[in-house]
A = this chain, B = another copy of it.
């Protein structure tokens, strides 16, 4: 069985985590190793839920914070095992997000008496369909374990704080026509031609920009798929444009859908996917104190992350972790050593001052 030595430096620990393969739904070995490393620590109460681990201090502090990271990765892409080259650590999951997990494990081990009570959460199955997500399961079945004043999700964010996240919705806009042989096209109605107006509305659409807690969120309304056609000699009777709306977190899912319905007024719509955004919550005392203590830049988060799950639980949350998210899911995934040490140093400082 793989084992983790939390007394090693954060770079070595990240490399050791990378070298425990943990593609989604194959997290048993890494969860066993994390559980085995945390259980001996007397200041932590460790709870395991399937392949997710929760470890909590109970010092009676005024405030409780969650520090969370997922243990799984996307499938390998010829990027295992890990390789340290100068000031960069390469390998699957080094960026997304075993670097963040390593920082959290280090903090769990080295800060036995944090100035805020801490709930560490290491969870499974973030990279696949939401129904498997370990954090989601905890939120549904053990919300008591996630209760907190503030949450830090250690997703890669260039060692900067990214606050909130935008919501995302996918909708099929359907056009209909009438089939006919294409040699006698005047007997039919071309559903692909009818999609011309749908694309025209998208092309002339001006995405909203909105400032929340001082940060500028930029929305987006984009066709991410289009399909139609029966055969090379048939006027098609149906076409579908799959539209992805990324909406700022001041809009609820139902407001977002109303906006999409308004834009495509007159068309048949099928909602295929929807997830709410999360407000940055930087006006909440716990969040403001964190930002001030960490002393780094704060930017809006555009991509959807699990901070939205905390938001649904009423817990303000930010993304803060080592690694550039542009390298997540890429063959050349890597994390700068400087990010690992900077984030560890800042978190430790915040939990000890």
Contacts and interface: CB of A to CB of B under 8 A. Distances in A.
A228 B225 contact: yes
Contact count band on A: 35 or more
A224 B238 CA distance: 10
Contact of A304 (B183, B192, B246, B273): B183
A186 B220 contact: yes
- State the majority secondary structure of interface residues on A: mixed
Given A227-B226, A231-B224, A236-B225, A241 B183 contact: no
Interface in A229-278: 229-236, 239, 241-242, 244, 246, 272-273
Contacts of A168: 182-183, 233
A220 B185 contact: yes
Interface string A316-349: 0000000000000000000000000000000000
A21 B244 CA distance: 50
A61 interface: no
Given A186-B220, A199-B196, A226 B225 contact: no
A324 to B, nearest CB: 13
B183 A302 contact: yes
A223 interface: yes
A132 to B, nearest CB: 17
A197 to B, nearest CB: 8
Contacts of A223: 190, 192-193, 228-229, 236
Contact of A246 (B183, B192, B228): B183
A36 to B, nearest CB: 36
Given A183-B302, A186-B218, A304-B183, A244 B232 contact: yes
A200 B273 CA distance: 29
A195 B200 CA distance: 9
A271 to B, nearest CB: 13
A222 interface: yes
Given A196-B203, A199-B199, 12 more contacts: A182-B246, A183-B302, A184-B220, A185-B222, A192-B223, A193-B199, A196-B202, A224-B236, A225-B232, A226-B226, A226-B239, A232-B273
